[in-house]
Amino acid sequence: MTALPETAATPVPQADATTSPASADVAVRAVDIGKAYGRRDVLTGVSFEVLRGELFALLGPNGAGKTTTVEILEGYRRVDTGIVRVLGMDPIRDGARLRPRIGLMLQNGGLDPRTTPREALRLYARFYRDPESPDRLLELVDLTQAADTRYRRLSGGEKQRLGLALALLGRPELLVLDEPTAGMDPAAKQATRERIAALRAAGTTILLTTHELGDVERLADHVAVLDRGRLVAYGTPVELTGAGAPRVRFRLSAVLRDADTAALAAALGHTDGAANAGASTRVVPAGPGGAYELVGLSSPPHPAQVAALATWCAENGLLITELRVGAASLEERYLELVGADVASEDVASEDGASEEEG
The ranges of the chain annotated as CATH 3.30.70 are: 247-326
CA quadruple 87, 90, 94, 96: dihedral sign = positive
Residue 268 has pLDDT above 70, yes or no: yes
CA distances from 35 to 98, 175, 341 (A): 21, 23, 25
CA-CA distance, 280 to 214, in Å (whole number)?
32
pLDDT tens figures, 213-264: 888 988 999 999 999 999 999 999 888 887 666 778 899 999 999 999 999 9
Domain topology for 23-242: Rossmann fold (3.40.50)
What b-and-e string marks burial along 115-133, b requiring 16 or more CB atoms within 10 Å of the CB? ebbbbbbeebbeeeeebbe
Residue 277 has pLDDT above 50, yes or no: no
What b-and-e string marks burial along 63-94, b requiring 16 or more CB atoms within 10 Å of the CB? bbbbbbbbebbbbebebeebbbbbbebebeee
CA-CA distance, 300 to 177, in Å (whole number)?
36
Q: Between β-strands 205-209 and 81-86, what pairing exists: parallel, antiparallel or unpaired?
A: unpaired
Neighbour count for residue 183 (Cβ, 10 Å): 15
pLDDT tens figures, 49-83: 999 999 999 999 988 999 999 999 999 999 999 99
The ranges of the chain annotated as CATH 3.40.50.300 are: 23-242
Q: Which range, 111-125, 246-260, 317-331, has the best average confidence (pLDDT)?
A: 111-125
CA-CA distance, 87 to 26, in Å (whole number)?
7
Residue 354 has pLDDT above 50, yes or no: no
Q: Does domain 247-326 have CATH number 3.30.40?
A: no
Lowest-confidence pick of 163-172, 289-298, 309-318 = 289-298
